[in-house]
Amino acid sequence: MKNTIALLAASAIFLLFACKEKPAPQRPETPPTPQLDFTIVPGERVGLVTKNACTREAVLAAYGDSAVVDSVYLDEGMMDEGLVLFPNNPRRTAYLWWDKEFDPKHIGFIRIISTDLPTGGADWKTDSGLAIGSTIADVEKLNGKTFDIFGFGWDYGGRVTDWKGGKFDGTGFGMLFSPAGDETDETLLGEKNIPSNDPILLKAEPRIVTFEIRFPVRDSLPPCLAEKANGYLTTEPVLTVKKMTVNGQDHFWFSDGAAAYDGIEYIYDTYCKEVCKVGGFRKPLDCSKVYDAGKWEVVWQEF
């Protein structure tokens, strides 16, 4: 009898566990879909690309399959490898480029292009409402001041050159305008600065056709060099400061674009003493040889 009771008890326990619901098989996790965000906050972010996470690796991680490695147009007919966001959707396409030689950590530019003026033609908009197709009046209102643009009809035609101390000054926020009509007054053509309130310019009804965004780089500089850098910006629209350690001492190269036009750029030590100069088409100075084996790093950049 005891054996029968024990057998019945064992059978009951077996049935109790056998009838319990088996756990559902775990499904493999699918990678999250990138958040669709097309907001531009000047100086801070473009969609998921932020000033603190703007390396090529960070952008690829943020956008997944929506970002592809491809050739990107720079300027003056030059191309280089970069990233293209949403390459198959013209309303969302953006072009990203890094200067691999000097600054792979900070993005060189983010460019959003459209020529569909009447409708805007792109999903990207600033947090204040500017979009492809916005007018000069729209931009003036948000900048809080008039600004200057290059004359039309050449590679840099219609590009904003000076925000004149307005809200967008120093943010790295740039744009290009194009006249709405087929013909442009001759006084608006060529390499010249034109005020945004110029009556002939306004008659041409220019609208934004390109956003070109950069993020300022503001790593710490020795006080005397920070003062010198701010002084440069009173006469130059862009300044890049590169650093290299030579024989245990930091050297800082102030690059304002002069060397590209046969001008001179200067290199200082931490005490603002000039230690070398570079540029022009003349023979390099002997002092520049110490930099051949090193690598410059961008530590400060203002627009």
Claim to verify: residue 197 and residue 235 sit in the same structural domain: no
pLDDT band for 302, please (50, 70, 90 cuts).
Answer: confident
Residue 30: inside a domain: no
Claim to verify: residue 197 and residue 254 sit in the same structural domain: no
Domain residues for the domain of 116 are 39-213
CB 117 within 8 A of CB 180: yes
> Quick one: pLDDT at residue 120?
59
Structural domains counted in the chain: 2
pLDDT digits (tens, 9 = 90+) for 167-184: 999 899 999 999 987 788
Over residues 13-27, mean pLDDT:
48
For residue 226, is it left (φ>0), alpha (ψ between -120 and 50) or beta? alpha
pLDDT digits (tens, 9 = 90+) for 96-148: 999 888 888 889 999 999 755 445 568 999 999 999 999 999 999 999 999 99
Q: What Rg do the C-alpha atoms of the chain give, in angstroms? A: 28
Over residues 54-68, mean pLDDT:
95
Residue 255: inside a domain: yes
Residue 48: inside a domain: yes
Average pLDDT, the chain: 86
Residue 132: inside a domain: yes
Over residues 73-78, mean pLDDT:
86
Claim to verify: residue 234 and residue 208 sit in the same structural domain: no
Residue 72: inside a domain: yes
- The CA dihedral of 196, 110, 46, 218, to the nearest 10 degrees, is -90
Q: Is the pLDDT of residue 4 over 50?
A: no
**Among residues 153, 184, 213, which one ends one of the domains?**
213
Residue 285: inside a domain: yes
> Quick one: pLDDT at residue 13?
45
Claim to verify: residue 111 and residue 99 sit in the same structural domain: yes
**Among residues 213, 248, 278, which one ends one of the domains?**
213
Claim to verify: residue 225 and residue 205 sit in the same structural domain: no
**Between 219 and 14, residue with greater pLDDT:** 219
Residue 286: inside a domain: yes
pLDDT digits (tens, 9 = 90+) for 267-297: 999 999 999 999 877 788 999 999 999 999 9
Over residues 188-215, mean pLDDT:
95
CB 122 within 8 A of CB 130: no
Claim to verify: residue 229 and residue 268 sit in the same structural domain: yes
